[in-house]
Amino acid sequence: MTERSMRTPLIALMLAGLAFPALAADRCDVVQADWRPVEELTAALTAKGWTVSNVKTEDGCYEVYGHDQDGKRVETFFDPATFEAVGDDD
């Protein structure tokens, strides 16, 4: 293999390595002391017509499993301090 033919795979490998820190970052970056109780999130969503079947913590967020007000199955991430929806698990 020549030096030139090795250059392209080497550059691709280096660029891929730069992407890993971005992938490892949490979706929500909130200090644990600022998190509101999960019961408050569940109550707020229930008041909006959601049916919450499970809530877990992932990527620094609350991840809610259930059905929204339209009956659609959802897996949605919420900021644990503001309860703002920050994405879903599609």
> Whose CA is closest to 58, among 34, 86, 82, 28?
28
How far is Cα 75 from Cα 57, in angstroms, rounded to an integer? 12
Residue spans of the domains in the chain: they are 26-88
Work out the average pLDDT over 8-35. 63
Q: How would CATH label the architecture of 26-88?
A: Roll (3.10)
Tell me the pLDDT tens digit for each residue of 38-59: 999 999 999 999 999 999 999 9
Model pTM above 0.75:
no
Tell me the pLDDT tens digit for each residue of 23-32: 446 789 999 9
